[in-house]
Structures are given as structure tokens and as C-alpha cells.
Amino acid sequence: MDVVSDAISAVHLGHPWFYRMRTNGKWCARLDPYDGAGFYVVLKGNCWLLTDNGALVSLSVGDAVLLPHGTGHVIADSPVDSTAAAQSAVPFEQWLAEAGPGVRPDRGGTEILCGKYWLDCSRMHPLMTELPEVVHLPSQVGSHLELRSAIDLLAGEMDQVRPGSCVALPNLLDLLLVYMIRSWMAQSNSGAWPSVLGDPVTAAALRAMHSQPAAQWSNDRLAAEAGVSRPTLARRFTTLVGRPPMTYLTWWRVILAATLLRDTKETLAVIAGRVGYGSPYALSHAFEREFGITPGRYRAQARSATVREHQKGIPRPHSGLGHGAPALCARSMRRPGWGD
């Protein structure tokens, strides 16, 4: 896999939750901070987003916005400040109930696709932690073409029940996340990781480590993969990534092991082999040094968290999926409570 795919896969949990809102008139909704990444796509009309840190963003038709760190915010039909938001904002779930699929916008109305990606924030890749509080991707002619295509496909799938929609919708939503991060990287002027992946030497070394994490890598082998000398690789990699190549590789192997412990039933010995450790004891020592707990306890905690999430209940089609989402997909979606 590549770095961006691995960075997303390491934290991504299950299918995203989503809802298609159709509303008009005056409205203002408040969403408290949460674990995960939220998104909005404006399909018709316009609205405003105000974060708890005071960032005010104007959203127009075709705009997409990603809140990768679960920042608390207010979304409203018109510009608001913190004082006005405190006085007029209703809880987000109340807004969902009031501005649902039965509400049809007039010529001045607003239609929004909103949702949440469930993330395990305990082991975020630095590429993900570097994402700003709000990633605003405005609709502009000739820009973000892949993102625009994904939005069009999503809107089309949600307009009516089609064969295969239960597979298409969650996968298109996952694709939306990838394209939003790609678009941010393409337009970012200050982020470190766009520079990291734009450097051919560092990118080649990262690509090698991520595609074959269990290989017997050394500084010399990585330098050969990048086509430079060992000192050149060490200098450029450390400067851009913030840690030497082999230190990064050790960290990534443990993060990958955590993902396998969470998502598979493989034994620790099998996982150790898959991530490049000669024995489960060696992996266990490295894992405990990074996470502060043993792999076995980590797996038990991850499973308990999954059980608790499933026990919260499955949304009914009319309340959890929103307008246009096929009722037959209800069992694959999470409940609509963002702040759980």
C-alpha cells in the first residue's frame, strides 16, 4: 500500500454514517466535539460553518468541507458568531429530526450531504494529524476534478434505490475521504507531508517501507531503493519526516500490528511475521513500549469498544440514512449520534 492509503486504513473503523439534509428558512445547529472526522458537501444553496475556535467558513453549492479532528462547530443558514450561535443553535440531532427528507427546499433552500467517518484516534499517522481543523475545498471550475466526480456519483446514488447501492454508497463515501485528503495535499502550501510525498527520495523510501513492511530493510537498502547514498537519504528523510528512516519503520510496524490486532483474529506470532518481527516476544516488547499496554490487552480493549458501538443500536431507515439512501442498507450504517 501507499502512505496515504495506510494512514487512512490505520484509523478507519467500519462504514461511515451519512445523512442528506433538505432544509429552508432560518436554521442553526450545534455539534459538540467528537471522535472521528466529519464532512459536509453542499448540493444546493449555501450555508456557514463556525468552529469552536472561531473559524468562520462560507460554503456554497459544490463546496466540500472536512473536519478531520472532530472539531465542535455550528452550521447555519447565515453568518453567526459565538454569541449568536449560543443563543440560537439547536442540538445537531434535533436539527436532523426537523430538517429531514420530508422537507423540500424552495428556491432559496439548502441541500447538504453530511456525515462522519469513525476513526481510532489513538494511533494517527502524522499525515492525518497534520490536517488542519477545517479542510475547505471550494467548488471551482477545473479544480478537484476527482472530488467533483465522487460528489456527483454520490448524489446520483442517493437519488434512487439502485442495484448494488449497499456496496456503492459506503465505498463512494470512503472514496470521498481519499479525494478530500488528496485535494488538500494538492492545494496545501504549508503542510509538511505534501512536501514529504513530493520529494522523490523520501517518497521512494516510504513507498518501499509501506509496500513491504516485513522486508529486512536497512538504511543501505532503502538508499538503494531511493537511488541515493545512505547519508543523503538519512539527511533528507530526517529533515522532512522528523525522524530517521529506521525509526519511522519501527514505529510504522507497531502501528500496523495494532491495526491487525484490531481488525483480524490472527495470532501474535502471525502478526509479528507480517510486520517484520522475528518473534511475538520481540513484537510484544516494541508494542508495549509504544502503546503502554500488551498486544493482548490492546486487542481485548479494541474488541470491547467494537461491541459497545454495536450495542448502541442500528438506525432505522427513515431516521438514520436520510433522503435517497436505500432502506436495505440500514444494517450497514451506524446510528446518527455524532457525539457518542
**pLDDT tens by residue, 295-320:** 999 999 887 766 555 444 333 333 33
Per-residue pLDDT tens digits for 84-116: 788 888 998 888 877 655 444 455 688 899 989
Is position 301 within any domain? no
300 lies in a domain? no
Q: What was the pLDDT predicted at 161?
A: 73
Q: What pLDDT score does 108 carry?
A: 60
State mean pLDDT over 202-218: 96
Other C-beta atoms closer than 10 Å to the C-beta of 328 total 11
Instruction: Provide the domain count of the chain.
Output: 2
- Domain co-membership, 143 together with 259: no
Please choose, from the candidates 230, 185, 170, the residue with its C-alpha nearest in 3D space to the C-alpha of residue 4.
185
| Strand (E) or helix (H) holding 21 | strand 12-23
Residue with the bigger pLDDT between 301 and 210: it is 210
Domain membership of residue 52 (yes or no) is: yes
The CATH number of the domain where 218 resides is what?
1.10.10.60
Helices (H), 52-191: 82-88, 92-98, 126-129, 145-159, 165-187
245's grid cell = 528512516
Domain membership flag for residue 338: no
Asked whether residue 148 falls in the same domain as residue 246, the answer is no
Structural domain harbouring 154: 3-191+314-332
Same domain, 265 and 318: no
For residue 60, the cross-strand partners are 46
| 304 within a domain of the structure (yes/no) | no
Same domain, 170 and 215: no
46-51 β-sheet, strand order: 56-60, 46-51, 73-76, 28-31, 90-91
